[in-house]
């Protein structure tokens, strides 16, 4: 048999196929499986975000954004003194804004002096902090250094309750939940967690059961206390602790009411709500009354904008009891996917959010945490998403404008291309969606965050000592000149 022809024929087929491929490449579309737009009705994304994106028609062109950015980067940020403390000037590029965390740092200082004091942090976030990721690590770090026991405020239901290890919550299916993510006019105002729950029992009991987790400093449920809102009708709740049942009446007279389940610490308990369907239920707080407590208010799909809809009176009522010293806003993941690199609309919206927080928790320090690195496939390669840096800069800008501290998570985790490293590393620190951290990565992020805050605190103590020693000389006081830049921004 003549074998010659078949070797060369088979070569010819493979080679001709290459030619055919080049031909197909010319005439066929660039890619299959295009990213189709999804019906937003079924997807968890906040409605305010969608509206803001839709309204974003008067966008700046990119040139002018770049121009104002160059201006900004050159600005030196010089601080006014606050209570005789003045942090050294810094550049916009490396902006951290410790100056604006002085209230929080002073409270930490007082706590260090007197361990019976309390410091409380509200950590608002998106899916990055789901299941208490990142937040539990920040909490543990603070409790390790300053004392304190307990996981803080916990909502009733949550999409991520199953994945949360720091406290285990199980609940009946008949809770009615309203979230600030997609409800504009709730039946009763939202709680500090952005949710309101109703024990909607159609004949069956509506219940929730808590069990302490295994995390350090959170191995028991300390002073569990129920938070609920105002209603015209009363209701009942039965707390079941071991074999005992404690019957209590809910008297919903104030904007925010509390009911202690038990003084001291429990391992687990169950709460049955009876005839309470008109009473807004917010959640339970677990803290031992001293030290640092960190509340995790995570909500998947959140951009941070919905906070601007908070009812300030209700928040103040919460604050009277919980007394926040620092509010952390950790958002960004959900505003990366809109094809825009101009985030002036987001800056505007988040400024409203920060103002609402200032109104709700008077005197509180605010810290903005930027978006982390996120990768997207460009051609055949994973790269940092082109929207990450513009968003991070926008976040830094509104942090400065609203006099908030700032943590640049993007540079902290390694900057350009770092998410790819975190995913590919062995053991991996982030998930294959190139967006979310896993337990290990979240711990690293929590530590990075804590370290930056801690550095500011250590500096604060030195500055404070200097002040008290009377060494610090009064300097000519000037405010940051960022205002003029923002004027050019608005006028465009």
CB of 300 to other proteins, least distance (A): 5
Nearest to 81 by CA among 62, 69, 98, 57: 98
Q: Helix or strand or coil: residue 461?
A: helix
Q: Measured from the CB atom, is 7 or 185 closer to other proteins?
A: 7
* Interface segment toward other proteins; rule CB under 8 A; list 20-28, 47-55, 61-69, 399-407: 20-28
Within 10 angstroms of residue 444's Cβ, the number of other Cβ atoms is 18
Least distance in angstroms from the C-beta of 283 to other proteins: 20
Closest contact distance (angstroms) between CB of 306 and other proteins is 14
Both tokens of 289, joined, read: 């009354």
Residue 371 or 404 having the CB closest to other proteins: 371
Size of the site for other proteins (CB under 8 A): 58
Question: Cβ of residue 334: shortest distance to other proteins, in angstroms?
Answer: 9
Residue 35 has which token pair? 């990213």
Cβ(366)–Cβ(405) under 8 Å? Answer: yes
d(CA 371, CA 333): 6
DSSP H or E segment with residue 314:
helix 312-322
Element (H, E) at 411: helix 409-412
Question: Which of 47, 234, 337, 340 forms a contact with other proteins (CB under 8 A)?
Answer: 337
Contact 228, 253 (CB under 8 A): no
What are φ and ψ of residue 321, in 5° steps? -95, -35
- Residue 17 or 477 with smaller CB distance to other proteins: 17
- Cβ–Cβ < 8 Å for 197, 226: no
131 or 224: CB nearest other proteins: 131
Q: In the bound complex, what is the minimum distance in angstroms from residue 131's beta carbon to other proteins? A: 7
Nearer to other proteins, 3 or 57 (CB): 3
Per CB under 8 A, does 25 bind other proteins? yes
CB of 457 to other proteins, least distance (A): 32
Among residues 105, 427, 158, 128, the alpha carbon closest in space to that of 292 is found at 105
Q: Of 25 and 481, which CB lies nearer to other proteins in the complex structure?
A: 25
Cβ 215 to other proteins shortest distance, Å = 16
Rounded least distance, CB 416 to other proteins, Å: 16
- Give the nearer residue to other proteins in terms of CB position, either 26 or 491: 26
Which stretch in 124-132, 199-207, 393-401, 478-486 sits in contact with other proteins by CB under 8 A? 124-132
The span from the CA of 266 to the CA of 241, in Å, is 8
Could you say whether residue 438 binds other proteins (CB under 8 A)? yes
The Cα–Cα gap between 73 and 198 comes to 49
Closer to other proteins by CB, 65 or 154: give it.
154
Q: Identify whether the C-beta of residue 297 lies closer than 8 Å to the C-beta of residue 330.
A: no
Indicate the SS3 state at residue 375.
strand
Binding mask 45-74 for other proteins (x = CB under 8 A): ------------------------------
Among 131, 189, 291, 349, binds other proteins (CB under 8 A): 131
Q: Under rule CB under 8 A, which residues in 418-437 are in contact with other proteins? A: 431-436
Contact 335, 285 (CB under 8 A): no
Q: How far is the CB of 46 from other proteins (least distance, A)?
A: 11
H, E, C per residue of 250-319: ECCCCCEEEEECCCCEECEEEEEEECCCCCCEEEEEECCCCEEEEEEEECCCCCCHHHHHCCHHHHHHHH
Residue pair 418/382 in contact (Cβ under 8 Å)? The answer is no
Q: Does 214 contact other proteins by CB under 8 A?
A: no
> Among residue numbers 263 through 322, which ones bind other proteins (CB under 8 A)?
300-301
Q: Which of 69, 159, 211, 459 binds other proteins (CB under 8 A)?
A: 159
Please say whether the dihedral angle defined by the alpha carbons of residues 188, 190, 192 and 193, taken in this order, is positive or negative. Answer: positive
Nearer to other proteins, 5 or 94 (CB): 5
Sequence-ordered list of residues with C-beta below 8 angstroms from that of 60, at least 6 positions apart, any chain = 342, 344, 489, 492
Binding status of residue 162 toward other proteins by CB under 8 A: yes
Terminal alpha carbon distance of the chain: 80
Nearest approach in angstroms of CB 367 to other proteins is 25
Answer yes or no whether residue 163 interacts with other proteins by CB under 8 A. yes
- φ, ψ of residue 161 to 5 degrees: the values are -55, -40
Q: How many CA atoms lie within 13 A of 315 on its CB side?
A: 21
d(CA 141, CA 409): 18
Nearer to other proteins, 33 or 244 (CB): 33
What is the distance between the alpha carbons of residues 271 and 144, in angstroms, rounded to a whole number? Answer: 31
Q: In the complex with other proteins, which residue's Cβ is closer, 18 or 476?
A: 18
- Can you tell me which of 290, 376, 403, 411 binds other proteins, judged by CB under 8 A? 376
CB closer to other proteins out of 34 and 232: 34
Least CB distance to other proteins at residue 8 (A): 6
Instruction: Check residue 204 for interaction with other proteins (CB under 8 A).
Output: no
Contact of 390 with 338, CB cutoff 8 Å = no
What is the SS3 assignment for 25?
helix
Regarding 43 and contact with other proteins (CB under 8 A), the answer is: yes
* Residues at the site binding other proteins, with contacts judged by CB under 8 A: 1, 3, 6-25, 28-36, 38-39, 42-44, 127, 130-131, 159-160, 162-163, 182, 300-301, 337, 376-377, 379-380, 431-436, 438
């Amino acid at each position: 048999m003549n074998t010659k022809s078949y070797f060369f024929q088979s070569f010819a087929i493979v080679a001709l196929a290459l030619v055919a491929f080049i031909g197909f490449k010319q005439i066929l579309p660039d890619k299959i499986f295009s990213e189709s737009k999804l019906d937003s009705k079924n997807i968890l994304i906040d409605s305010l975000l969608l509206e803001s994106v839709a309204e974003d028609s008067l966008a700046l062109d990119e040139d002018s954004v770049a121009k104002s950015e160059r201006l900004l980067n050159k600005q030196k940020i010089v601080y006014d003194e606050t209570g005789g403390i003045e942090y050294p000037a810094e550049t916009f590029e490396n902006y951290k804004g410790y100056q604006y965390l002085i209230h929080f740092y002073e409270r930490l200082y007082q706590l260090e002096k007197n361990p019976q004091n309390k410091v409380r942090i509200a950590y608002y976030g998106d899916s990055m902090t789901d299941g208490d990721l990142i937040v539990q690590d920040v909490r543990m770090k603070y409790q390790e250094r300053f004392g304190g026991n307990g996981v803080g405020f916990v909502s009733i239901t949550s999409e991520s309750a199953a994945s949360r290890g720091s406290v285990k919550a199980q609940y009946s299916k008949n809770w009615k939940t309203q979230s600030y993510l997609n409800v504009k006019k709730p039946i009763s105002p939202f709680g500090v967690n952005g949710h309101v729950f109703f024990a909607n029992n159609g004949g069956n009991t509506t219940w929730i059961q808590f069990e302490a987790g295994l995390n350090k400093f959170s191995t028991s449920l300390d002073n569990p206390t129920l938070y609920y809102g105002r209603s015209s009708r009363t209701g009942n709740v039965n707390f079941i602790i071991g074999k005992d049942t404690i019957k209590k009446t809910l008297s919903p007279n104030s904007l925010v009411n509390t009911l202690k389940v038990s003084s001291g610490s429990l391992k687990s308990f169950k709460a049955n709500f009876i005839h309470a369907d008109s009473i807004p239920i917010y959640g339970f707080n677990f803290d031992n009354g001293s030290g640092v407590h960190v509340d995790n208010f995570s909500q998947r799909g959140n951009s941070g904008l919905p906070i601007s809809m908070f009812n300030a009176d209700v928040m103040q009522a919460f604050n009277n009891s919980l007394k926040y010293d620092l509010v952390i806003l950790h958002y960004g993941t959900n505003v990366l996917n809109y094809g825009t690199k101009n985030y002036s609309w987001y800056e505007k919206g988040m400024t409203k959010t920060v103002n609402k927080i200032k109104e709700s928790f008077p005197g509180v320090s605010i810290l903005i945490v930027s978006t982390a690195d996120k990768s997207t496939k460009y051609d055949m390669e994973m790269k940092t998403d082109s929207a990450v840096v513009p968003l991070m800069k926008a976040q830094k800008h509104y942090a400065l404008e609203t006099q908030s501290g700032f943590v640049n998570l993007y540079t902290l985790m390694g900057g350009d291309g770092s998410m790819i490293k975190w995913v590919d590393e062995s053991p991996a620190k982030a998930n294959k969606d190139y967006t979310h951290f896993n337990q290990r990565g979240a711990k690293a992020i929590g530590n990075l965050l804590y370290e930056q805050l801690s550095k500011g605190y250590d500096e604060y103590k030195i500055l404070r000592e200097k002040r008290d020693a009377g060494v610090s000389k009064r300097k000519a006081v000037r405010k940051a000149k960022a205002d003029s830049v923002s004027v050019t921004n608005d006028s465009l």
